[in-house]
Structure formats: structure tokens, C-alpha cells
């Protein structure tokens, strides 16, 4: 116990940091892999040190692999997934641009808010939370609104629904717009083929399917998106997230832009290395097999899922809270008595569902067994 004097008037008692161990089966973060934690404990070097610049190059290459893209502009934004989300909007949207957003959950609404703040003329297509858009519905909306950018959430974290993307990129090219995709809860955990699908802008986070600490978030832009950026009539309104500037730090010029979170990048590099070592297709398969097992075990308890099976995420499942059950109380019991975190519902699903994440390092049968065994004890 340490005693500190503040203005010689009061004393503050401080103990060394002591955080309880948790199994993080909520919507994120997930538990970091032990190798990743060890990497983040590595001594830092300077953010322009050749060894660190080489690490940045490796991160770029590995991100292209897990996203299945050859985009030159593929980096990690120094910030959480929301910063990477804002980077796509800040760089792609000019005042007056029509931006069409598919809203079927909380994070579609966040894209609407962000695009509006950057001066976009925002249009939306909407679905009940937990449903997805058909290609015909998307076509009709694009034909009607003729947007400069179509933004879709691939994996809606608030609902557990997976938006099919096959054919959407081709549609966007037909109508001359860019395709922006949120892959925050899908990267590493379910099939993504950015180039094959014709995705122009995508972002993700480090703390879910990649099982790293939050704060170093994947971001990528296609050549089509870069061309729009280079033809802007106005400066990017967000200096910190301006890809014109960030690209010079991550590219050949190596021009200082900001002090990168060095140890977080160490962790991200190791997380991506582990994923490449496993093989991205093997990771996709592992996530699907383990979530199939989760659904089976939950159904044995009499619980039902919110999303139609064909459109469920393998990384995050929304489970309907049974009638008469206090969802918050159950989640708190799991945390306090069993050290297991699950999430509650957001927005329209608040109080109606639990959100159970099975992502990255946590996507294992033993995670499922530990959760279900605890649920048996706490459910009325």
C-alpha cells in the first residue's frame, strides 16, 4: 500500500493494480492470446526505429492476407475500431456527397451520425434489427438515391446478423459508387474476400476476432477509393485520421505523423502472425464449428436465438432472454460468481437479448462448456 500526499492536505491510499481474471464472452473485447500479451510486454523502441518500421510493414502484409486484399493502402489506425470507422468516413466523404447507409442495428446508425457530421447528404435503407438486406433491396435503394458511397455493416455487433455481400460490389460499380464495409466483428472469424467482393473501404478492430488489445485498428482503401480521396476539393476534416498524412508514415516516405502505440502494434503483429500460422480458412472453420456447438448447447437449455440461422454470425450470437427473466441480473451473476462476461442488448434489443461472443482465442469448445455449465446454475 502506497500513501500519496495531495497539496499536503489529504492522503490517497494506492495499491498495485489488481484486475480479476475474466472469460470475456461478450461482444468484445475478447481475451488476448498469451503470446500476444507477452509481445505487448516487449520493450518499446522509437516509432521511427527501423525495427519498428519493419514491424509496421509486417502488419500491413498480414492485414492484406486476413482481409484477402491487395490494397496498397492497408494500415492500422492508432485508435479503437470507432477511430478506423471514422477514418473511412472522414477520408471518403466530402460535404454534399450522398451517402447511403444500410441500417439494421446500432452500428448502422453510428455510420449515419458520422457521415452527417462530415457534411454528407445521408440516405438510409432500414430493416428490423436482426434481419439483413437482399441484393434486390440494395439495388433499388442505390438506383433511387445514386449515392457516392454505399455503407453496409458486414457483421452487426448489436444484432448478431451477417449481411451477405456477394454481388454488392458489382452493383456499386454499375452505379459508380464506392462500397464501404464495417468488418469489426467479422475480421478473422468468418470469410471475407474484400477484392473478390469489390469492397472499396473497410475497417475493423484489434480486440475481437484478432484477440489483441483494443487500440490498433485495421483500415484499408482500394485504388478507386484512393482516387476519390486524391480528387477531393476540400481537405480531410480530421487531421489525425487524414490518410494523405498517415500514408506518408506507413509508406515509403516514413514521415513522422504521430507517436504510434508501439506496444499495441507489437501485439497486433503477433495476433496476425498467429492467425496466419493457423491459416485464415482454418480460423473461419474453427469459429463456425465452435458456434454450432454453442447453439446446440444453448438450445438444450431451452434458449432461442434472435437471428435466423443462415444469417447468424459465428463470432457473436444474440440469445433471447426468456420471459420473466432479469437479463441484467443473470449477466451480473455470471460475472460475479463465475468470472464470465456476456453482453446485454443495445438499442431496440436492450433488455431483450444477451450477446455472447465467441471470437478469436476464445472460440474454443471449453469456452462454450464453461459458459453453459454456469448458465445451468444461474438460470431460474
Burial status of residue 352 (CB atoms within 10 A of its CB: 0-12, 13-18, 19 or more): middle
Task: Give the pLDDT of the chain (380 residues) as one tens digit per residue.
Answer: 555 555 655 667 788 999 999 999 999 999 999 999 999 999 999 999 999 999 999 999 999 999 999 999 999 999 999 999 999 999 999 999 999 999 999 999 999 999 999 999 999 999 999 999 999 999 999 999 999 999 999 999 999 999 999 999 999 999 999 999 999 999 999 999 999 999 999 999 999 999 999 999 999 999 999 999 999 999 999 999 999 999 999 999 999 999 999 999 999 999 999 999 999 999 999 999 999 999 999 999 999 999 999 999 999 999 999 999 999 999 999 999 999 999 999 999 999 999 999 999 999 999 999 999 999 999 98
Torsion angle defined by CA atoms of residues 243, 246, 247 and 248, in that order, rounded to the nearest 10 degrees: 140
- How far is Cα 31 from Cα 49, in angstroms, rounded to an integer? 29
Q: What is the pTM of this model?
A: 0.95
| Phi and psi, residue 14, nearest 5° | -125, 135
- How far is Cα 44 from Cα 376, in angstroms, rounded to an integer? 45
- How far is Cα 245 from Cα 239, in angstroms, rounded to an integer? 8
Peptide bond into 305 cis (omega under 30): no
- How far is Cα 99 from Cα 180, in angstroms, rounded to an integer? 10
C-alpha cell at 241: 485520421
Q: What sign results for the dihedral spanned by CA atoms 17, 21, 26, 28?
A: positive
- How far is Cα 222 from Cα 208, in angstroms, rounded to an integer? 24
259 and 48 in contact (C-beta within 8 Å)?
A: no
- How far is Cα 305 from Cα 299, in angstroms, rounded to an integer? 8
* pLDDT tens digit sequence for 22-81: 999 999 999 999 999 999 999 999 999 999 999 999 999 999 999 999 999 999 999 999
Beta strands in 95-177 (DSSP E): 98-103, 121-126, 149-153, 155-156, 161-162
DSSP state of 165: -
pLDDT of residue 8: 56
Burial status of residue 174 (CB atoms within 10 A of its CB: 0-12, 13-18, 19 or more): exposed
CA atoms within 13 A on the CB side of 323: 0
- β-pairing, 353-357 vs 343-344, is antiparallel
Torsion angle defined by CA atoms of residues 181, 185, 187 and 190, in that order, rounded to the nearest 10 degrees: -100
- How far is Cα 218 from Cα 250, in angstroms, rounded to an integer? 13
Residue-range domains of the chain with CATH: 23-30+280-378 (3.90.1150.10), 34-276 (3.40.640.10)
Amino acid at each position: 500500500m502506497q500513501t500519496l500526499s495531495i497539496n499536503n492536505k489529504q492522503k490517497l491510499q494506492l495499491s498495485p493494480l489488481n484486475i480479476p481474471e475474466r472469460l470475456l464472452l461478450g461482444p468484445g473485447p475478447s481475451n488476448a492470446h498469451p503470446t500476444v500479451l507477452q509481445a505487448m510486454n516487449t520493450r518499446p523502441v522509437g516509432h521511427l526505429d527501423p525495427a519498428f518500421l519493419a514491424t509496421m510493414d509486417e502488419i500491413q502484409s498480414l492485414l492484406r492476407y486476413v482481409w484477402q486484399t491487395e490494397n496498397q493502402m492497408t494500415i492500422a489506425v492508432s485508435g479503437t475500431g470507432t477511430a478506423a470507422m471514422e477514418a473511412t468516413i472522414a477520408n471518403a466523404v466530402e460535404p454534399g456527397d450522398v451517402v447511403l447507409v444500410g441500417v439494421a442495428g446500432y452500428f448502422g446508425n453510428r455510420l449515419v451520425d458520422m457521415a452527417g457530421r462530415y457534411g454528407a447528404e445521408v440516405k438510409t435503407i432500414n430493416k428490423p434489427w436482426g434481419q439483413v438486406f437482399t441484393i434486390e433491396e440494395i439495388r433499388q435503394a442505390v438506383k433511387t438515391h445514386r449515392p457516392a458511397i454505399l455503407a453496409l455493416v458486414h457483421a452487426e455487433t448489436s444484432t448478431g446478423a451477417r449481411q451477405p455481400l456477394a454481388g454488392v460490389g458489382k452493383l456499386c460499380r454499375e452505379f459508380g459508387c464506392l462500397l464501404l464495409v464495417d468488418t469489426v466483428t467479422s475480421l478473422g472469424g468468418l470469410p471475407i474476400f474484400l477484392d473478390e467482393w469489390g469492397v472499396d473501404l473497410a475497417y475493423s478492430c484489434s480486440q475481437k476476432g484478432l484477440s489483441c488489445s483494443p487500440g490498433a485498428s485495421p483500415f484499408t482503401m482500394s485504388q478507386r477509393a484512393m482516387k476519390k480521396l486524391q480528387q477531393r476539393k476540400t481537405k480531410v476534416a480530421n487531421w489525425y485520421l487524414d490518410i494523405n498524412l498517415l500514408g506518408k508514415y506507413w509508406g515509403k516516405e516514413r514521415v513522422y505523423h504521430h507517436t504510434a502505440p508501439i506496444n499495441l502494434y507489437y501485439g497486433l503483429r503477433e495476433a496476425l502472425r498467429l492467425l496466419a500460422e493457423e491459416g485464415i480458412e482454418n480460423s473461419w472453420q474453427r469459429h463456425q464449428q465452435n458456434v454450432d456447438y454453442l447453439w446446440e448447447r444453448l438450445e438444450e437449455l431451452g434458449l432461442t436465438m434472435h437471428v435466423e440461422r443462415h444469417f447468424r454470425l459465428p463470432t457473436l450470437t444474440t440469445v433471447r432472454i426468456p420471459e420473466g427473466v432479469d437479463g441484467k441480473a443473470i449477466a451480473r451473476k455470471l460475472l460475479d460468481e463465475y468470472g464470465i462476461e456476456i453482453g446485454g442488448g443495445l438499442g431496440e434489443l436492450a433488455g431483450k437479448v444477451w450477446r455472447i461472443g465467441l471470437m478469436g482465442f476464445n472460440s474454443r469448445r471449453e469456452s462454450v462448456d464453461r459458459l453453459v455449465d454456469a448458465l445451468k446454475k444461474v438460470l431460474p
